[in-house]
A and B are shown apart, each in its own frame.
Chain A
Amino acid sequence: MVAGSGARSGHAAKRGFTLFEIAVSLAIAATAVTSVMLVFPAGMKSQTMARYQIYAAAKALELVDGYTAFHTANPAMDSEAPAPWMVSSTYGNLAPDLEHRLASFRFGLFPLPIDLARRIDSDGDEIQRILDDGAYLYYSQPLATTGFKETAVGAAPPNEAQRLVFAVVGHAQQNALTHFPWKNWPYYVPYPSPPAHGHGANEPGYSKPANRTPVAGMPSAFRARTVFLWEDLGCEDPDMRFVFDAADDTGTAYGYRDHLKTHDRASAERYCRAALWYLARKGFGAELDGITAGLTDWVGAPDQAGRRDQVRAMRFLAHAASCLTAYVPRGELDAGVALAPVAFVGAPATAIAMRNVVITSANIAAYHDTCLDFAMRFASRHPYDWLVPRPLNRQTMMDFPLLQWDLFTAPLSGTIPHTAIRAEQWRPIAADTDTLSRSIGRGFQFMNLDVPSTDPAWPSGAGGAPFWGDPSRFTLAEPFAPSERCRQLVFWAVDWQAWEDFETAPSAPVDAGRYPLSAPFLAATGFASLMERFRFMDWQQFGYRNPEKTLAFTNPSVATAATGSDVAAFIAGNDNVAVHDRGATPVAMSVFSGRWGADRNANKRLDRGPVPRSQRLRASTVGRFNYYDLRVMGEIR
């Protein structure tokens, strides 16, 4: 038994694995295999992430390129009003920071619908925190920001880069004012030129009878319009009315308007005599006798007001005298044209007596040179004197005023025109508030109103307090650390186009300041008329309207259309004729707001993804890019 037991014992030493042992070993093997299998998707994920990082790098490059290179123009839009809440440009739509600049149908930054953005999880819940702070999550248009008319570019090919969503993180910033709503300076006029005038409809500014000077027969662009002198009121110098339009005691007309209509030698000479009257009125003129080279410094030692006078006087004289070159034969003009003194009905006395003046060809050339010299000199020396229009001949970024709101003084207040809705805006401050407050004049569009306006019908809302804010709070010219201007673009990858409603979800909320609202005008019958007055011009107004405008659906029936159906007929686009988002009708307001969604992958078909809206998606962080966020408008060439 013992031996037998030993034999059995020896056999037991060579026995096979038990089932338990095999089960354990299989479990180990399965764990190992599973672990190895788990590595493969990680490799795929790594490659996918690498691809998104390339997309993000390209998109970041494009955003910064567009931010620095896109033009800042938004012409053909009202930007002046008696109070800032009466025009859109007061608000954020034209602000110079990256988000406001690029969130445009033409510049490629589209806010992701909030309905969709709220379903996205991310590391540290960063996306939701950004949304909680009131910011947008963005997606990009499918193609590069070409600047072309979107509907001419055609349907976009499938684009994986649209799976990127991104946001701007960093501190909030106070931007400079890009438009001063009472007077959208700088004003540019050609030098030399007559007193500045314009044409318009029934804006309050043009309604002052004494200033209303219709001119029939204007050439070309002014044809069939009515022309009004503006600069006398706008720049606080009523004397220039007599350069624009005057008459002597015989009823003979003088000045720019007369020569515009008559345009012969006699009218040119009368225009010159009116300009010479202006010089005498301002107390100089003899200093110009016989000059054949342009003056390169002021006449005498004038103060700021005197310099203004000299700039204007040379501008008018150079313009009027140049007219002689069209009517006086060269030989005669080389010898000189004699111009007698003149007195105008209703005009004030001149500061010095007018004299007989002889003007030669050489004098005219010297006037022209002096006119330009004085204009450039004044613009450089007095940037916050807004009583002299700037030379169109020399627009520079250094002659753009630095203005901001004072965020720590009680705001101006009033009501939205034609409503009882209360509105507020901060008080303005400038780099040189003192000079500006004394030499701002009036705006072109509302030239019958002071700045600020105290007219009961058109108040600027200062109440009894000072209109201007506290100049000590001006910060635009303060030194700053680079970190203060640093913002970060954060990119995530998430297949948001997999949701069933990625095209039918309504647009993210559109700021009301993006609506191209007209300033109030007398003919308006209500707020709706302000909404409908402007022609919406896709090729001119880039900081307005829903950024998704060119993709937005124009018809609620899209919601019930079959997946994959052609919806090109229901996309707002920009065909220059059918404007779908203009006006106060429910349909127009729905299109403006993107209520019925948008063709977000730009393939002109209605797409629905396989993922139900009840399911959340997780976004993976792809990259972060630091950039410099501007407080003022700027472009790089």
Chain B
Amino acid sequence: MRRAFSLIETCIAIALGSVIAGAALACLRAASSAIASANRLATENSCMRAGFTAALDEADFWQAVDRADDPTRQRLRGGDGVRWLPFAPFSLSFAPTESQIDGLPNRWTPTDPWPAHDPRYWFRGNLAEHTMSTDNRWGYYENFTHLEAAPDLGPGGSGIASPRHRWLFNQMEGLKNALGYYGLCEYLPANALYAVYGDRDSAVGWSHEWSAPTPQGIENNYLSQRGADCDLPRGDYVLTMYHLFALPVNASGAAALAETRHGLLTGRDSNSAHVAAFETHARWTERTLALRPAHWPDVRMSVARYVAHGRFTTQCAVRWLSPVTGDAVELSFTTLATSLRGARQQRVDPGDPSRDLDGGTYQP
């Protein structure tokens, strides 16, 4: 005889079944939500890691600035015959007409360590001499060192001089013209003093481009940023204390030539507009995952390189937008990175496949 379930049994069975079904549903929902969140987090992490890696890769190899294998993405290799961009090979950009000065090769020698004890590298100008409003009461040190072989010092300096030491100033001027200000700071030794005698306007006194405003009062397109009150030769700390020198990454041609010879205010007297100008000038930004699925975060990697307060900085940022909330999150950091000199040594001179851009032996 088979009896039916009693009412109480049925009730208990229904209750138990409900518990099981409820638990299973809750579990399913929680599992589904957790899996979705974990997946989203994992995807975000992966994308962020990709951006982080891309930023470090760019810090190491400078591919966004100059892609070695793609001539269409080599915006910083040209020049106007006098001034050049930072990735122009020295075979083009540092090829002076005088092959020898002071008995030394008048070109960039990649293997030369510029030892401090070597008299070739001693700065011989008058370090107490102002560029502006000087009366030369301490004499004309242009007689000792100068860019030119026979500078005309005019009536005050008694005409044509015959300076004995020209090599250092020509190296400095050559680097400035070949690389722009950022590259110049990087290539000169840490204790370099930034001034040379003679420029296109006058053979007497410090070159205005190196140490003083132009007569027209154009600001920020000269190496020394302090104006007439402090127009003395200086090192890279003071030189970049108020204005930094950045590597321009968003310009090409004549605009890039100008920007490589331009200081950007970010120091004491700066404001948000100045920082915005820096961002426009110096920050390279690219989408890390351009062909991503729509539900992946939009990750952008950016890198800016500059020298400020004498510190060479490679500043990276990884920013991503959540596809769900639209919120932006940013990870920004600076990192140890390949120098411009290192980046140039990573690239082959198009005119001589055995040489890198500095003229050293190319080692792929």
Point out residues on A near B: beta carbons under 8 Å: 19, 22, 26, 29-30, 33, 36-37, 40-41, 43-44, 47-48, 50-51, 54-55, 57-59, 61-62, 64-66, 68-71, 73, 143-149, 152-154, 157-161, 190, 193, 219-221, 259-260, 263, 319, 321-326, 328-331, 333, 361, 364-365, 368-369, 372-373, 376, 380, 392-398, 538-539, 576, 635, 637
Which residue of B has the minimal Cβ distance to A147? Answer: B308
**In the bound complex, do residue B41 and residue A51 qualify as a contact, i.e. CB atoms below 8 Å apart?**
yes
* Nearest CB in chain B: distance from A110 CB, A: 16
Contacts of B193 in A (CB 8 A): 392-393
Point out residues on B near A: beta carbons under 8 Å: 12, 16, 19-20, 23-24, 27, 30-31, 34-35, 37-38, 41-42, 44-45, 48-49, 52, 116-117, 119, 122-124, 126-128, 130, 133, 135-141, 143-144, 156-161, 164, 186, 190-191, 193, 229-230, 235, 237, 241-242, 244, 266-272, 274-275, 278, 308-317, 327-336
Complex CA gap A507/B347 in Å reads: 50
**In the bound complex, do residue A69 and residue B312 qualify as a contact, i.e. CB atoms below 8 Å apart?**
yes
**In the bound complex, do residue A40 and residue B41 qualify as a contact, i.e. CB atoms below 8 Å apart?**
no
Known contacts A22-B16, A58-B333, A392-B127; decide if A148 and B45 are in contact (CB<8 Å). Answer: no
* Nearest CB in chain B: distance from A156 CB, A: 9
Q: Other CB < 8 Å A-B pairs besides A37-B31, A325-B139, 11 of them? A: A40-B35, A44-B41, A54-B331, A62-B333, A66-B334, A69-B334, A71-B310, A144-B317, A326-B139, A331-B158, A368-B141
Contacts of B313 in A (CB 8 A): 69, 146-147
Contacts of A146 in B (CB 8 A): 266, 308, 313, 315, 334
* Nearest CB in chain A: distance from B61 CB, A: 16
**In the bound complex, do residue A54 and residue B52 qualify as a contact, i.e. CB atoms below 8 Å apart?**
yes
**In the bound complex, do residue A43 and residue B34 qualify as a contact, i.e. CB atoms below 8 Å apart?**
yes
* Nearest CB in chain B: distance from A553 CB, A: 21
**In the bound complex, do residue B332 and residue A149 qualify as a contact, i.e. CB atoms below 8 Å apart?**
no
Chain A CB within 10 Å, residue with most, of B122, B161, B271? B122
Shortest beta-carbon contacts, A-B, top 6: A40-B34, A330-B158, A190-B127, A322-B139, A263-B137, A144-B332
Contacts of B158 in A (CB 8 A): 325, 328-331, 333
Known contacts A36-B27, A41-B34, A58-B52; decide if A325 and B45 are in contact (CB<8 Å). Answer: no
* Nearest CB in chain A: distance from B311 CB, A: 5
Chain B CB within 10 Å, residue with most, of A50, A193, A326, A373? A326
Known contacts A149-B267, A193-B128; decide if A395 and B41 are in contact (CB<8 Å). Answer: no
Complex CA gap A577/B45 in Å reads: 43
**In the bound complex, do residue B157 and residue A539 qualify as a contact, i.e. CB atoms below 8 Å apart?**
no
Known contacts A44-B34, A326-B140; decide if A144 and B315 are in contact (CB<8 Å). Answer: yes
Contacts of B27 in A (CB 8 A): 33, 36-37
Contacts of B164 in A (CB 8 A): 365, 369
* Nearest CB in chain B: distance from A275 CB, A: 13
Chain A CB within 10 Å, residue with most, of B136, B144, B329, B334? B334
Which residue of A has the minimal Cβ distance to B319? Answer: A157
Contacts of B23 in A (CB 8 A): 29-30, 33
**In the bound complex, do residue B30 and residue A157 qualify as a contact, i.e. CB atoms below 8 Å apart?**
no
**In the bound complex, do residue B275 and residue A54 qualify as a contact, i.e. CB atoms below 8 Å apart?**
no
**In the bound complex, do residue A44 and residue B331 qualify as a contact, i.e. CB atoms below 8 Å apart?**
no
Contacts of B48 in A (CB 8 A): 51, 54
Complex CA gap A396/B122 in Å reads: 12
Secondary structure at the B interface, as helix, strand, loop or mixed, is: mixed
Contacts of B311 in A (CB 8 A): 69-71, 147
Contact with B139, one of A22, A30, A57, A324 (Cβ below 8 angstroms) = A324
Known contacts A54-B49, A326-B156, A368-B124; decide if A61 and B20 are in contact (CB<8 Å). Answer: no
**In the bound complex, do residue B34 and residue A325 qualify as a contact, i.e. CB atoms below 8 Å apart?**
no
**In the bound complex, do residue B37 and residue A44 qualify as a contact, i.e. CB atoms below 8 Å apart?**
yes
* Nearest CB in chain A: distance from B238 CB, A: 9
Contacts of A220 in B (CB 8 A): 130, 133, 229
* Nearest CB in chain B: distance from A261 CB, A: 10
**In the bound complex, do residue A29 and residue B20 qualify as a contact, i.e. CB atoms below 8 Å apart?**
yes
**In the bound complex, do residue A148 and residue B52 qualify as a contact, i.e. CB atoms below 8 Å apart?**
no
Known contacts A22-B16, A539-B267; decide if A33 and B24 are in contact (CB<8 Å). Answer: yes
**In the bound complex, do residue B45 and residue A54 qualify as a contact, i.e. CB atoms below 8 Å apart?**
yes
Known contacts A65-B334, A323-B139; decide if A50 and B312 are in contact (CB<8 Å). Answer: no
**In the bound complex, do residue A637 and residue B24 qualify as a contact, i.e. CB atoms below 8 Å apart?**
no
Complex CA gap A153/B31 in Å reads: 43
**In the bound complex, do residue A152 and residue B266 qualify as a contact, i.e. CB atoms below 8 Å apart?**
yes
Contacts of A219 in B (CB 8 A): 130, 133
Contacts of A328 in B (CB 8 A): 158
Which residue of A has the minimal Cβ distance to B28? Answer: A33
**In the bound complex, do residue B332 and residue A221 qualify as a contact, i.e. CB atoms below 8 Å apart?**
no
Complex CA gap A328/B242 in Å reads: 41
Known contacts A144-B333, A190-B126; decide if A637 and B143 are in contact (CB<8 Å). Answer: no
* Nearest CB in chain A: distance from B190 CB, A: 5
Complex CA gap A367/B347 in Å reads: 45
Contact with B329, one of A30, A58, A160 (Cβ below 8 angstroms) = A160
Contacts of A398 in B (CB 8 A): 116
